[in-house]
Structure 1
Amino acid sequence: MNASVNAENFTLLLRVQQWLYREARMLDERRFDLWLDLLDEQIRYRIPSRAYVRQGHVKDFSTWSVDRELEAADALPLIDDDLRALRNRIERLQTGMAWAETPPSIARRLVSNVMILDVEEAGRLSVVSTIFLHKVRGDSRMLFTAERRDRLVPVGDGFRLQERYVVLDDVVLASENLSLLF
């Protein structure tokens, strides 16, 4: 019985990984129309701001979490979009009027360290992964690294993205904008 459970978990992990890799390829190829089809109607796409926390302000390192560096009470998120906002963002990118992306940046996303953290009874998955996003625009090169915390809902043989929470590994962004999708 244990072997079949492990085999099922492994198969599910492979399905999730393949879904994430296909999604990254769509975004690399600027197939935003196809990417929108991967989103759940209730999508929430967030990138919180991040702040340094001094060691002297931490009372108990045994309970430390990177979440303490995110969404401070006085901070605004960098991005907090729903499906409508994401559609507007993509429509703008496709008009040629998004000056930050005219001509479009060349991007490559590498997704790794994929782990399924939880499977709810309804089949909804909590998935964490690491993304390396390399962006080239003119003579400028940027590298973003981040943890992605996704909520995937099963649909047929695949999934839909219901939530994406991107934890950037930067406190101060070297990029002029966050026009690319993580």
Structure 2
Amino acid sequence: MQSESTVDVSIRDLKPIQFDIEMLRNIEQFLFREARLLDERRFWDWDDLFSDNGMYWMPHQHEQENPYDHISLFWENRMLREVRIRRLENARNWSQQPQTRTAHLVGNVTIEGRDDYGYLVVSATFQVSEWRLEQRQLSGRYTYKLLEQPGEDWKISLKRVDLINSNDILSNLEVFV
């Protein structure tokens, strides 16, 4: 286990692992369910997919090594995710009138290997159609560090969201990508 202050975000030097099609399908279903929770605005259920010290990271630069030496679009622990969820659900939040709607498309799921802490590293491509008064497209690559829970589902230790246009001028990113 690693603490929030020592989160290893590296995805280099991974140890290859043997896996079967059942494991891949299980991970795909986990990622598809995560996307559906976001599309259905079930943010609390989505947040429960994270481990207690799980982090949500959206780098600002392509190939950004870490969130410590450069600004990020998001670097959120559980507390910051919960603050955002409460804001999104607040009936007086004018920036969610009307509410943002999304449709996530997740594909090219790949098991990359294990990191030094034993987390399973998985990547996937994504496209998100987002609408709130006008429609926009977001796309890129997700990279996850997943914690295996014996007899339970996976837990997200790290979700890295690399937008293809992360260093572009973006209007507010209200909901989670």
TM-score by length of 1: 0.78
Task: Name the residue aligned to 2:147.
Answer: 153
Q: Closer, same or farther in 2 for the Cα pair 1:48/1:120, shift >3 Å?
A: closer
CA RMSD of aligned residues (A): 2.4
Distance 1:82 1:144, change over 3 A: same
Q: Given the superposition, is the C-alpha separation of residues 46 and 122 from structure 1 closer, same or farther in structure 2, using an over 3 Å criterion? A: closer
- Say whether 1:144 aligns with 2:138: yes
User: In the alignment, what sits opposite 2:20?
Assistant: 9
Matched, 1:108 2:119: no
Residues 123 and 154 of structure 1 are in contact (CA less than 8 Å); yes or no, is this contact kept in structure 2?
no
Deviation at 1:18, TM superposition (A): 0.2
| Residues 22-171 of structure 1: pairs in structure 2 closer than 5 A | 22-50=33-61, 66-67=62-63, 75-119=70-114, 124-138=119-133, 140-155=134-149, 156-170=151-165, 171=167
- Segments of 5+ residues of structure 1 without an aligned counterpart are 51-65
**Other-structure match for 1:61:** none
Question: What is the deviation of 1:101?
Answer: 2.0
Residues 1:105 and 1:40: Cα distance change in structure 2 (over 3 Å): same
Q: How high is the sequence identity, in percent, across the aligned residues?
A: 26
CA contact (8 A) 2:56 2:159 kept: yes
Larger radius of gyration: 1
TM-score, reference length from structure 2: 0.80
Q: Which amino acid aligns with 1:145?
A: S
- Indicate conservation of the 8 Å contact 1:150/1:163, yes or no: yes
What is the aligned residue count? 159
1:80-101 Cα distance to aligned partner (Å, 9 max, x none)? 1101100111011111243322
Shift of 1:158: 1.2
Counterpart CA distance in 2 for 1:19 and 1:181 is 17
**How far, CA to CA, are the matches of 1:162 and 1:68 in structure 2?**
18
Any idea what the Cα deviations from partners look like across 1:10-60, whole Å, max 9, x if unmatched? 11111000000011001100011211211111111111112xxxxxxxxxx
Q: For residues 120 and 172 of structure 1, do their structure 2 counterparts lie closer, same or farther at Cα, with a shift above 3 Å needed?
A: closer
Distance 1:107 1:153, change over 3 A: same
Q: Is the 8 A contact 1:105 1:137 kept in 2?
A: yes
2:175 maps to 1:180: yes
Give the aligned residue type for 2:142: R
Listed as ranges, the gaps of 5+ residues in structure 2 are 1-16
Cα deviation, 1:130-154, whole Å, max 9, x if unaligned, reads 110100112x110000111111111
